[in-house]
């Protein structure tokens, strides 16, 4: 054999990873990460007093629902086979302590009763337990005389909010306010009032992120200033795992990392150490970026959506909150 013919030759047994990429069927067979509708959760906004659904301009395709249109959103989600919905209330009136959050006739509690009745056993109806949608200053807690979020006074409001949501029928309370001790406070309140079987989803590692921007429109936020004194600094990785460990010690049944795509390292850390399920929230800014780029023809919309959620699952998320939950479920069923 001359040198030209032998140059670059490989033994028959030489590893060739491309063998397992040759066809769609082969790629599907050996895929390490799979999406399933049951792993997806749809965030849903319900607006008090709305006569018809209201489009959210910064989140194309996402609506603020009326209590009537909520019913169809729930049945559509159930038909798609997704795992659950996360409800957010958009009240007409706000005040300094977020009174509407604990009012049985407040929009979130009303929406919860409607969703639970509509969903039956087909979905897990979850509720956002935070005051930001209900306060006139837009913060996640009660302010002290100096305008600083008072952690312990806020915990008292969270206790009451947890009981109100459980009474409305919420099947999973999503504690998203990032107050120290919030899981223990709500757990104690639930246990003391006969709701010991109501589980808690702790937004354990929630960062002060620019990617929440469109969400402000979605909930008609009244935020003044920012939330950097209680949400995490984006520069900190180890702190994310510490927050997860603290919430686990307080009795969290599920822990969350939020946002998702910019914090996949934190998500992987949590997934590697947590004995309970770890979820991630693909937030409004992540959604808006992909939709905007796709609308300009700069990326393939479907491939980008699928790739983004696969990446979050691959990093360790057992389930993903995403505004594409129903659409994505239709593609992968």
Tell me: the pLDDT tens digits for 10-20? Answer: 666 789 999 99
3-state secondary structure of 283: coil
DSSP 6-43: HTT---TTS--GGGGGSSHHHHHHH-S----GGGEEEE
- Separation CA 203–CA 181 (nearest Å): 12
Query: What are the tens digits of pLDDT across the range 171-197?
Result: 999 999 999 999 999 999 999 999 999
| Alpha carbons 286 and 264: distance in angstroms, whole number | 13
pLDDT at 202 (0 to 100) = 98
Alpha-carbon gap, residue 5 to 25, rounded angstroms: 34
CB-based contacts of 44, cutoff 8 Å, min separation 6 = 65, 70, 73, 74, 85, 86, 87, 88, 115
Among 259, 172, 178, which Cα is nearest to 214's? Answer: 259
Preceding omega of 259 cis (within 30 degrees of 0): yes
Q: Is residue 295 within 8 Å of 327, Cβ to Cβ?
A: no
Residues recognised as catalytic: 206, 258
Give the model confidence (pLDDT) of 299-325 as tens digits. 999 999 999 999 999 999 999 999 999
Task: Answer whether residue 156 shows pLDDT above 70.
Answer: yes
Average pLDDT over residues 248-267: 98
Nearest Cα to Cα of residue 282 among 38, 47, 31, 39: 39
In the predicted structure, residue 3 carries a pLDDT above the cut 60: no
Average of per-residue pLDDT across 50-61: 95
Give buried/exposed letters for 32-42 (b at 16+ CB in 10 A, else e).
eeebebebbbb
Check whether 220 has a pLDDT greater than 80.
no
Main-chain phi, psi angles of 286, to 5 degrees: -65, -45
pLDDT of residue 1: 47
- Chain centroid to Cα 185, Å, comes to 21
Across the range 143-151, mean pLDDT stands at 94
DSSP state of 207: B
State the pTM of this model: 0.94
Q: Return phi, psi of residue 198, to 5°.
A: -85, 120
Name residues whose C-beta falls within 8 Å of residue 235's C-beta, 6 or more positions apart in sequence: none
pLDDT (tens digit, 9 = 90+) per residue, 73-96?
999 999 999 999 999 999 999 999
**pLDDT score of 47 more than 70:** yes
Evaluated on CA atoms 54, 58, 61, 65, the torsion sign reads: negative
Give me the mean pLDDT over the 226-246 stretch. Answer: 95
Instruction: State how far the alpha carbon of 77 is from the alpha carbons of 12, 42, 166, 308, 329, in Å.
Output: 51, 8, 22, 20, 9
């Amino acid at each position: 054999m001359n040198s030209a013919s032998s140059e670059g030759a490989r033994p028959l047994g030489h590893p060739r990873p491309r063998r397992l990429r040759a066809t769609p069927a082969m790629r599907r067979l050996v895929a390490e990460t799979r999406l399933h509708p049951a792993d997806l959760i749809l965030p849903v906004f319900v607006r008090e007093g709305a006569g018809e659904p209201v489009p959210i301009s910064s989140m194309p395709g996402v609506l603020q629902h009326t209590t009537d249109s909520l019913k169809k959103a729930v049945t559509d989600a159930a038909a798609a086979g997704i795992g659950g919905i996360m409800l957010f209330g958009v009240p007409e009136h706000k005040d300094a302590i977020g009174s509407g959050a604990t009012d049985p006739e407040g929009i979130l509690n009303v929406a919860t009763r409607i969703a639970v009745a509509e969903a039956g056993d087909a979905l897990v109806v979850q509720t956002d337990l935070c005051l930001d949608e209900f306060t006139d200053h837009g913060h996640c807690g009660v302010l002290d005389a100096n305008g600083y979020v008072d952690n312990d006074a806020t915990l008292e409001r969270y206790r009451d909010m947890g009981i109100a949501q459980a009474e409305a029928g919420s099947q999973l309370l999503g504690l998203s306010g990032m107050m120290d001790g919030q899981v223990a406070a709500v757990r104690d309140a639930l246990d003391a009032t006969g709701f010991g079987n109501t589980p808690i989803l702790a937004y354990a590692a929630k960062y002060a992120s620019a990617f929440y921007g469109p969400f402000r429109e979605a909930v008609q936020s009244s935020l003044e200033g920012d939330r950097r004194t209680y949400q995490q600094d984006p520069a900190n990785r180890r702190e994310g795992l510490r927050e997860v460990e603290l919430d686990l010690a307080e009795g969290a049944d599920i822990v969350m990392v939020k946002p998702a795509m910019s914090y996949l390292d934190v998500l992987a850390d949590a997934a590697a150490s947590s004995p309970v399920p770890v979820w991630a929230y693909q937030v409004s800014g992540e959604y808006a970026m992909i939709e905007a780029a796709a609308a300009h023809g700069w990326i393939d919309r479907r491939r980008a959506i699928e790739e983004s959620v696969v990446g979050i699952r691959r990093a360790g998320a057992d389930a993903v909150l995403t505004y594409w939950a129903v659409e994505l479920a239709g593609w992968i069923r």
